[in-house]
Structure formats: structure tokens, C-alpha cells
Chain A
Amino acid sequence: MTDASTQLAQDYDIATTGEAQFGDYIALLKPRVMRLVVFTALAAMAAAPAGEHPVVALAALICIAVGAGASGALNMWWDADIDAEMSRTAGRPIPSGRVGPEEALGLGIGLSILSVGTLAVVANPLSAALLAFTIFFYAVIYSIWLKRATPQNIVIGGAAGAFPPVIGWAAMTGEVTLAPVLMFLVIFLWTPPHFWALALFRNDDYTRVGVPMMPVVAGEPATRRLIWLYSLVLAPLPVLLALTEAGGPLTLAAALLGNLVFLLRARVVAQRSAEAAAADRYAAEKRLFGVSIAYLFAIFAAVLADAALAALLPGLDWPAWI
């Protein structure tokens, strides 16, 4: 009997594609993307003038993180076919067979409803509506509709990643003012140069699966020019953010220093030829990709630090002070 039950279990094991472990569900929520979401939303919540109770703020932050995770699961459900063919994504839970597609779809829809509903209750309807729109935007408008249809996919998809600070601000204050809009614009305009730098040195992957990334469709020279153009448009925004109620001297310093490094790196990438890039295996593009991550981190870390500074020095009164 023991042998029979073990045999049965083994047969079952072979018959199913795989039994998901808890970690596979976590992987479906894209924890690395979630980290950025939590960080930017937290910075906005800390910088928001009207403070909710810390427990309510924590609950709202968890809702935003879970909502972002849910949209990640929906994205993986839809993109399982192309994920299987790209080296960067082949090990994800669905293409590797550890989680069934319908399980990912169920998890994505379930967590979306749960996170939006809970945020409406613990914070306010405005932030819940913004979270619902963000999930819809990322899962349907970006993943299902635009990603495989237009080389502007990254530009439009960037909006989904730019919403978390707006949701965090709305959860704390019940409104959306200039400061969270500037935070949105910083992430929105940062996304294209960040991902196009990646696409330049990951071009083969995207070409193979037919995702129309900018270097695939418009070619490398055009992508390099666009990286420079977007970097120029991006540069003033964190400076403006530093001058709002959400900013402060640290944000201003991070914005100015960050712009200097980012623009220098983007200029190098913009002026290079494809041959020069191939010769050193896209070293400058990889460098820009790394610098772009540090850039966004520095700006939002500075917003967070300025919020702490304002709490420690209530007399600073930043926007009036300048």
C-alpha cells in the first residue's frame, strides 16, 4: 500500500507539469519590480504633507505593492509564450512549467481585486481607483495591446511604473497635486532611456521573439538619438520636483548631480556608432543602464531623506525658504 501510494504520487508528479512552491507565486509578482514600486510609493507617502497613521500608511503601501505584483502576474500570464524564448525570462514560473497559466491568471485577478478593495477601505477611493487603473493599464493596455504592436511600447508602458508615487500620495492626502505629478513624469520620462539602453545590448532577444523594441524597428542610430532626447526632457523634472513641497535641499543636490552624470553617459551612448558599441560589447550602454538605475534611486532616496529632514527641522519650510 505504501509502495502504491508512493507510485501514485510519482505518477501524479510526472503527469503534471509541476507543483508550484510558495516561492514560485512570489516570483510571479515580479519582486524586483515591486521593490521599485514600494520605494517610490514610500518616498511619496513620506513627502506628502498630510500624514495618515503609520499603520494605515503601511497597509496602503502593502496594497500598492500587491497590486503591482498582481499586474506582474497578469503580464507573465500573457507573455508566457515569448518569455519562454528569451534567455532573460525563460526561467520564469510559467515558461519553466512550475506554475500553470490559469493559476497565474487566477492569482493576478484575485490579488488585483483584493488589493484595490483593501486600499479603498484603508485609505480612500481615489487611491484605489488609481491603483485599479494602473493594473488595467499595465496588464491590458501595455502587455496585451501595445507591447507587441508598437516600438513606443516602453514609452507608454512606463506610465504604469510611474503611477505608484501618485497612488501613495493620494492614499495619504486624498488628492493629487503638482509634486506627485512631477514624480510621475520623472519615472515616465526616465523609463525610455533606461529600457532602450537595455534593448541596445539585448537586441537579439527582442528581435527573435518579434517584440518591436525601438532598436529592432527604428535601428540603433535612431534609438541612440531618442535616448539623448528623452534624457534632455527628463533633466529639468527632478529639479522642479526639488522645488515643490515634496522636495528639499537633498533632492535638489541629487537632481543636479544625477543630471550631470546621466546626461554625460547618455551623450556618450548617443554619439557612438553600432560598430564602436559592438567592439567593446556595449560597455557604454551597460554603463548608462546602471547609471539610470542609480539616478532614479538617488532622486527618490533624496525625497525620502528630505522628508526626514523636514520632520527633524520643522522650521525649514522648504518651498518658501528658496
Chain B
Amino acid sequence: MQRDHELHKRRRGRNLGVLAVLLGFAALLFIVTIVKMGGNSANPWG
């Protein structure tokens, strides 16, 4: 059964690209937050 069309492949590539950008953005903000709060913020009890 053939369910994939060229259109779906192109859309999947685009969606994965957007996902990667969003994850990268979230990771960047997270790391900047850790850095801005100081070296011990990842381990506040340390």
C-alpha cells in the first residue's frame, strides 16, 4: 500500500527542519539561562 506522495516527503523534511530549529532555540535559551544565573545554578545545593 503506497501512502507516501512526494508532497509528504517534502513536508516531512520541512517539519523535521523546523523541529530541529525549535529544539536548538530551546537548548540555547536553557544554556544561556544557566550561564546567566551563575556557575552553580545547575546544582543549587552544591
Would you call A2 and B11 a contact (CB within 8 A)? no
Q: B42 in the interface, Cβ–Cβ < 8 Å?
A: no
Nearest residue (CB) in B for A52 is B35
With a cutoff of 8 Å between Cβ atoms, the chain B residues found around residue A5 in the complex are 3, 5
Count of chain B residues with Cβ under 8 Å from any Cβ of A?
20
Q: B2 in the interface, Cβ–Cβ < 8 Å?
A: yes
With a cutoff of 8 Å between Cβ atoms, the chain A residues found around residue B11 in the complex are 19
**Contacts of A14-45 to chain B: CB distance below 8 A:** 19-22, 25
A56 to B33, CA, bound (A): 9
Nearest residue (CB) in A for B5 is A9
With a cutoff of 8 Å between Cβ atoms, the chain B residues found around residue A118 in the complex are 29
Chain A binding surface, main DSSP class? helix
With a cutoff of 8 Å between Cβ atoms, the chain B residues found around residue A2 in the complex are 1-3
A55 to B27, CA, bound (A): 11
Q: A53 in the interface, Cβ–Cβ < 8 Å?
A: yes
A19 to B1, CA, bound (A): 24
Would you call B17 and A59 a contact (CB within 8 A)? no
- Interface digits, B2-39 against A, CB 8 Å rule (1 contact, 0 not)? 11011110110110111000000000110110011000
With a cutoff of 8 Å between Cβ atoms, the chain A residues found around residue B16 in the complex are 22
Would you call A55 and B32 a contact (CB within 8 A)? yes
Given A55-B31, A59-B32, A122-B32; A19-B7 close (CB under 8 Å): yes
Would you call A22 and B13 a contact (CB within 8 A)? yes
Given A6-B2, A9-B8, A21-B13; A56-B18 close (CB under 8 Å): no
7 A–B contacts from the bound complex (CB under 8 Å)? A2-B1, A9-B8, A20-B14, A21-B10, A25-B17, A55-B35, A62-B28
* New A-B pairs, 12, CB < 8 Å, besides A13-B5, A22-B14: A5-B3, A6-B2, A9-B5, A13-B6, A20-B14, A22-B18, A25-B14, A55-B32, A56-B32, A58-B28, A118-B29, A122-B29
